[in-house]
Structure 1
């Protein structure tokens, strides 16, 4: 059976799956010989390439680090299933569409396990299963199921022959999830595991690409920044940037540079992160990313970070344009009421605050509307809640409430409400690098506050 026929039968079987149980469907697929066909199909069939594709061609280097076929039959099948599942889930954005997409990937995982048993010692099957798990993690994440998302990433490391590139992608996303959940110590442990595995591979003489090494370095640097361990990061980074075409890594490096006052390098990283992620969004490399590190997240984050960069540089027209792009992208990808839309709105409100101060103008009504909408979308608790527990996005919520409080305090009839709101924001501020006042006012150009939309944190 040819590769195309195998894929056709697989999708056809899945179309019938809504009325069949999983065991019945699995038996039918096995009976038709699909699992064997997936591993017997012709290697000469070219991989699916996106239009315009220098980045797609480069992505081939990332599959099969051990030197095998970059697009083995199991990997190509996995890519087709992932494209179908993600497109289907995101097109409708309903619980049914996400459920059906997850069923597609789960069935693919089962078929690949059967195929791996038919042909023993196939590392490409483990790579394909790893990519499917990354995609399943993304689906869970987009439904707000962070624990399930993290569990799928952990499963990647239990695959015996999975390549280092797939492992690094899983570690990157796992660290991102930990940071978003405020589990900073866990994120440090993830980066330690990643660094140890990478070093062991190099010392063992295994082939490790320069891009994979830089990607691992960016994960560590990003986590270290959150944990205030960034003083000696990224020596010689300028030369390394030219060798890197991973959007999430470029965005992380840009934010590290931005936070330590290297504005020119930050701008370069942000711009390249945007270009790379736009190109990779339709390429095979996009499936070596997961959860809050996928190209769609990077595009939102890079637009927002570059907009903040222009805000800090006093270029408010450019800042407004980029932050608006980030807002539109966030609404398209997550929906109008998602908390990450509130994160971007907070950045826009702060931009208007700095613009009003710089130009000696007033935009109180605009700022107030933005802050109120952001606070609502961020699902901030009521001010009079007595038992406030630690929250996800607490720094961004505190930043939005403190900005809103400043507006209230300059209005005599609302000053008392503003003071109460400011006190609440101070109690919720957990950032260890900046005080809340420093984050709002940007008085020290060497210590700007940068909001990362991927992890919903103030860096």
Structure 2
């Protein structure tokens, strides 16, 4: 059967279609999913996770595009359905490594979808800009990209607390990357109450950013509490029924990010056995979601290696061979340019992580007399490539206490 018709048939013939969770956004006045939304939900599940083995991303994209075309300009629920499909298209493009095309699709979403979906598109647009290493001003707003008059929404995004929390959390994350800790605090202060109710209205992503802020400023007790809440909420979350997120901000990415960041916090707290457990889980999540040779696997491997470094320092032991193997594999997976190449002066994906991994690797070489020259070259390369606004490379490499720890966010592949 034609895959598009197959997806439609499953939605239309099912007596009780599994709807998108009503808590994520308003659907029909009765509180349930409309038929267009149920149809779109089935198509998204099929395209992003339920397609038959061997089906191609191009086939999945055709399914989503056909669904959006059929539902465009329809009646009740069609705006939400189209929004779902367009966010899913962006995710599919992102997963295929087509970041710029994903951003173009997000921009198109702002022209047709209801406000909640436009906020999700803005959130992902900022996430992709951060991943690309772009410098973003915290004054950027959904109003810059979102025409709030579209679809005659009864209320603006700013009138909905959970949506405003998501916007503030992204601005707080941007502020952290820019080294503006006080500004970040102001943004996160605006969503503290909603963070306390993590698990409602898809705020897990926003709360993870708040966790990382607490982690960065050294509030380890509260960061621990909030990380654990996020992980608990994500364990109970039906990720296949979550349609109000896209690209590197989808629940699977949040789950990976929370697991890896919590593992880093445990490592910073000297709880190395627990840290190893969570970072191992994060590594398995990354490999299962993206494949063993995806850059996100390299990001987690870097965090694992850093954990072993802290553990060896705390215990007065040595794990040079283990660390070196992990850094070498991480740099290979991240496709780091050769030290003698000109790649560092050009646009380089995952610059933060590659620079950090190379800096850590250099430190291992510098303590070995027969490899000191190699270590000096690697250190010089890392220092030249480093672009972080909050930390110098020396600060990132040296953890002396909770006042200014290095936190790696796997969602955006950046160091904070």
Q: What CA distance in whole angstroms lies between the structure 2 residues aligned with 1:331 and 1:267?
A: 25
Q: What CA distance in whole angstroms lies between the structure 2 residues aligned with 1:273 and 1:172?
A: 18
Asked if structure 1 preserves the Cα contact closer than 8 Å seen for 2:298 and 2:333, the reply is yes
Please give the secondary structure, in 2, of the residue aligned with 1:81. helix
Change (3 A) 1:279 1:197: farther
2:18 corresponding residue in structure 1: 48
Q: What CA distance in whole angstroms lies between the structure 1 residues aligned with 2:60 and 2:343?
A: 39
Asked if structure 2 preserves the Cα contact closer than 8 Å seen for 1:247 and 1:277, the reply is yes
Deviates more, 1:219-228 or 1:289-298: 219-228
- Structure 2: gaps spanning 5 or more residues: none
1:251 paired residue among 190, 196, 208: 208
Asked if structure 2 preserves the Cα contact closer than 8 Å seen for 1:175 and 1:190, the reply is no
1:192-237 deviation digits (Å, cap 9, x = unpaired)? 6379969xx9996889433222222212211222122331332375
Q: What CA distance in whole angstroms lies between the structure 2 residues aligned with 1:78 and 1:145?
A: 23
2:45 corresponding residue in structure 1: 83
Please give the secondary structure, in 1, of the residue aligned with 2:181. coil
If the length of structure 2 is used for normalisation, what is the TM-score?
Answer: 0.89
Asked if structure 2 preserves the Cα contact closer than 8 Å seen for 1:278 and 1:295, the reply is no
Asked if structure 2 preserves the Cα contact closer than 8 Å seen for 1:65 and 1:163, the reply is no
Pair 1:157-2:77 in alignment = no
Larger Rg: 1
Residue 430 of structure 1: how far off its partner (Å): 0.4
Change (3 A) 1:192 1:304: farther
Asked if structure 1 preserves the Cα contact closer than 8 Å seen for 2:256 and 2:286, the reply is yes
How many residues end up aligned between the 2 structures? 406
2:34 paired residue among 56, 63, 72: 72
Q: What CA distance in whole angstroms lies between the structure 2 residues aligned with 1:444 and 1:203?
A: 49
Q: What CA distance in whole angstroms lies between the structure 2 residues aligned with 1:274 and 1:365?
A: 32
Asked if structure 2 preserves the Cα contact closer than 8 Å seen for 1:238 and 1:265, the reply is no
Change (3 A) 1:238 1:325: same
1:130 corresponding residue in structure 2: 83
Pair 1:209-2:160 in alignment = yes
1:23 corresponding residue in structure 2: none
Residue 164 of structure 1: how far off its partner (Å): 2.2
Pair 1:436-2:387 in alignment = no
Pair 1:457-2:410 in alignment = no
Asked if structure 2 preserves the Cα contact closer than 8 Å seen for 1:347 and 1:451, the reply is yes
2:118 paired residue among 167, 174, 188: 167
1:35-84 deviation digits (Å, cap 9, x = unpaired)? xxx9xx89x964416xxxxxx7xx30333379575411111111011011
Q: What CA distance in whole angstroms lies between the structure 1 residues aligned with 2:207 and 2:413?
A: 18
Asked if structure 2 preserves the Cα contact closer than 8 Å seen for 1:250 and 1:272, the reply is no
Q: What CA distance in whole angstroms lies between the structure 2 residues aligned with 1:205 and 1:189?
A: 17
1:282 corresponding residue in structure 2: 239
Residue 384 of structure 1: how far off its partner (Å): 0.6
Please give the secondary structure, in 2, of the residue aligned with 1:361. coil
Residue 308 of structure 1: how far off its partner (Å): 0.4
Q: What CA distance in whole angstroms lies between the structure 1 residues aligned with 2:310 and 2:386?
A: 21
Q: What CA distance in whole angstroms lies between the structure 2 residues aligned with 1:228 and 1:320?
A: 29
1:392-413 deviation digits (Å, cap 9, x = unpaired)? 2111101101111111111110
Residue 273 of structure 1: how far off its partner (Å): 2.1
If the length of structure 1 is used for normalisation, what is the TM-score?
Answer: 0.81
Residue 253 of structure 1: how far off its partner (Å): 1.0
1:310 corresponding residue in structure 2: 266
Residue 356 of structure 1: how far off its partner (Å): 0.4
1:60 corresponding residue in structure 2: 22
Residue 265 of structure 1: how far off its partner (Å): 2.1
Asked if structure 1 preserves the Cα contact closer than 8 Å seen for 2:47 and 2:63, the reply is yes
Change (3 A) 1:207 1:422: closer
- Structure 1: gaps spanning 5 or more residues: 1-8, 16-28, 50-55
Q: What CA distance in whole angstroms lies between the structure 1 residues aligned with 2:5 and 2:243?
A: 23
Pair 1:241-2:192 in alignment = no
Asked if structure 2 preserves the Cα contact closer than 8 Å seen for 1:281 and 1:295, the reply is no
Asked if structure 1 preserves the Cα contact closer than 8 Å seen for 2:119 and 2:163, the reply is yes
Asked if structure 2 preserves the Cα contact closer than 8 Å seen for 1:451 and 1:458, the reply is yes
Change (3 A) 1:157 1:191: closer
